[in-house]
Copies of this chain bind each other. A is one copy, B any other.
Amino acid sequence: MPGVLASWNDGGARRAIVEFVERTVSDGVPAEERVAVFDNDGTLWCEKPMPIQADFILRRLDEMAQADSGLRSRQPWKAAYERDYGWLGAVLAEHYAGDDTNVRTLAAGILAAYEGISVDDFEAQSDAFLRSAQHPTLGRGYLECAYAPMVELLGYLEENGFSNYIVSGGGRDFMRPISQEVYGIPRERVIGSSSALDYTSDDHGGTITHRAEADYLDDGPQKPIRIWSRTGRRPLLAAGNSNGDIPMLEFTRHRDRPYLRLLVLHDDDEREFAYTSGAERALERAGTNGWTVVSVKNDWATVF
């Protein structure tokens, strides 16, 4: 199939994808069962030097610390105010290693930062940020930080009758305003973490606002649970890049249907970033379970 997945180099990953899709079609798997799920940060778009949403949140925390000096000595406002991005990086590394002590401190700050905001205002802020902010080192806007081969893969799947879903540890409502434009994924197919929400009755249709607590963190074992809750199905294809994606990849398995598990390996520090931190166990599982490793360096003809 000339032209298909042109931004992928010929190799094991590209071949595994094409074989999987062709088998799904030739087996006549019903369209409604063709569900594909994608982690976002590090799988569909760049997550280094920090996840894009972290930049968004740090700006908000800094703004709060600018306005209230009492916050400047408390984490996570302190890190935001002092631009101590190392603190945030360490928190995420601890999380992927299984220690969530500082994640709770960070989460409490994040939740407090948006307490009481309406979902409409939150979306407007996220939308404005994503359309204007620049990646700190890649010299491109954040909306241009999606991986071209993955966007191409989403399109290839859609052409073959698949429904693609984002299943991100990041905020569902953070990604929704741009998911259609960047990935061709409509907002109702964005699964991600969320604050608990309140509904308040009023004269103009009611308002939904954020509470200062998490509804759930869509990571690790929550990913298959949220996929089931949203779709009522076990996916045929899953793509991830970190330890938090292991249960979702594991859940993508069938007795009588084709299935494919993709794990993006960040091994290209010339065109993107090279790191395996937070992905150690996932890479190990890829080896023992036959998941398909996608090497940024070798499998992608272009990155962005």
Contact = CB atoms under 8 A, between A and B. Distances in A.
Interface of A: 32, 119, 163, 172-173, 176, 180, 186-188, 190, 194, 197-199, 201, 204-206, 208, 215, 221-222, 224-225, 228-234, 247, 250-255
A188 B119 contact: no
A30 to B, nearest CB: 11
Given A197-B229, A204-B255, 10 more contacts: A119-B228, A172-B229, A187-B231, A188-B230, A199-B222, A199-B225, A199-B251, A205-B250, A205-B251, A206-B247
A205 B119 contact: no
24 contacts: A32-B180, A32-B186, A172-B229, A187-B231, A187-B232, A188-B230, A188-B232, A188-B233, A190-B232, A198-B221, A198-B225, A199-B222, A199-B224, A199-B225, A199-B251, A201-B250, A204-B255, A205-B234, A205-B250, A205-B252, A206-B247, A206-B250, A208-B225, A215-B229
A224 B201 CA distance: 10
A150 to B, nearest CB: 22
A177 to B, nearest CB: 9
A206 to B, nearest CB: 5
Among A119, A206, A215, find the residue whose CB has the most chain B CB atoms closer than 10 A. Answer: A206
A197 to B, nearest CB: 5
A234 B221 CA distance: 30
A180 B188 CA distance: 18
Nearest to A180: B32
Given A199-B247, A201-B250, A208 B224 contact: yes
A51 to B, nearest CB: 21
A32 to B, nearest CB: 6
Tallying the copies of this chain within the complex gives 2
B250 A221 contact: no
Contacts of A254: 205
Given A176-B232, A197-B228, A229-B194, A251 B186 contact: no
CB-based closest 9 A-B pairs = A205-B253, A187-B232, A199-B221, A188-B231, A206-B251, A197-B225, A199-B224, A176-B232, A206-B250
A288 to B, nearest CB: 11
Contacts of A229: 172, 194, 197, 215
Contacts of A176: 232
Given A208-B224, A224-B206, A225-B208, A233 B201 contact: no
A43 to B, nearest CB: 19
B232 A230 contact: no
Nearest to A165: B188
